[in-house]
Amino acid sequence: MTQSEKNLEDVNIIIDETFLDKSIEKHGNFLIPILQDIQEKYRYLPEECLIIIAERLQIPLIEVYGVATFYQSFSLIPKGEHIITVCLGTACYIRGGTNMVDVLTKELNIKPGETTKDKKFSLETVNCLGCCAIGPMVLIDDEYYGEMTPPKVIKLIKTLKMEKNE
């Protein structure tokens, strides 16, 4: 069983159908913004939500899954409280992006695509964050950090770990 499968096994959430109804009311039949609302609230797209949305929009569930799996910004796997994304595009790769992945893998004890057992951190990689001039880049919770080094990454993670303990 992979870490991702274990993460799915551990998830016990209560779906807020009122929230889903408000999202549908706000966006009408536009599926992508509804999925974005769900992703923002739950940090992933729970299967139960996708089923409800398909029923309420009267579209096949496979269509909802098709959109949810087509766009890389959507996830069917629960994400951690802090999402750490490492750029592995050419410029970042050449400047040591893989070193950032190695350090984070060791520090968090997870591989890219996984979430820590305490659901505090998820580690991801992407092909480009669009900040090539200041790579290697690390994105943490929508905040960009350029010219990263292993010591800088470790310091950021330790700071986030201390915040969670407060």
Check residue 164 and give its pLDDT.
57
**Residue 31 pLDDT class (50, 70, 90 cuts):** very high
Sign of the four-CA dihedral 114, 115, 116, 121: positive
Give the residue numbers spanning the domain of 63: 14-70
Query: For residue 115, what are the β-bridge partners?
Result: 122
Asked whether residue 5 is domain-assigned, the answer is: no
CB 91 within 8 A of CB 148: no
What's the one-letter identity of residue 111? Answer: K
In this structure, are 49 and 86 located in the same domain? Answer: no
Q: Assign 3-state DSSP to the chain and report helix, strand, coil percentages, each to 5.
A: 50, 10, 35
Helix (H), strand (E) at residue 104: helix 97-108
Check residue 139 and give its pLDDT.
96
In this structure, are 89 and 158 located in the same domain? Answer: yes
Q: Which of 79, 86, 118 is nearest to 102 (CA)?
A: 86
Q: 127-142, pLDDT tens digit by residue? A: 999 999 999 999 999 8
In this structure, are 61 and 111 located in the same domain? Answer: no
**Residue 72 pLDDT class (50, 70, 90 cuts):** confident
In this structure, are 63 and 89 located in the same domain? Answer: no
- pTM for this prediction: 0.74
Can you give the CATH number for the domain in which 86 is found?
A: 3.40.30.10
Count of the separate structural domains present in the chain: 2
Q: 83-112, pLDDT tens digit by residue? A: 999 999 999 999 999 999 999 999 999 999
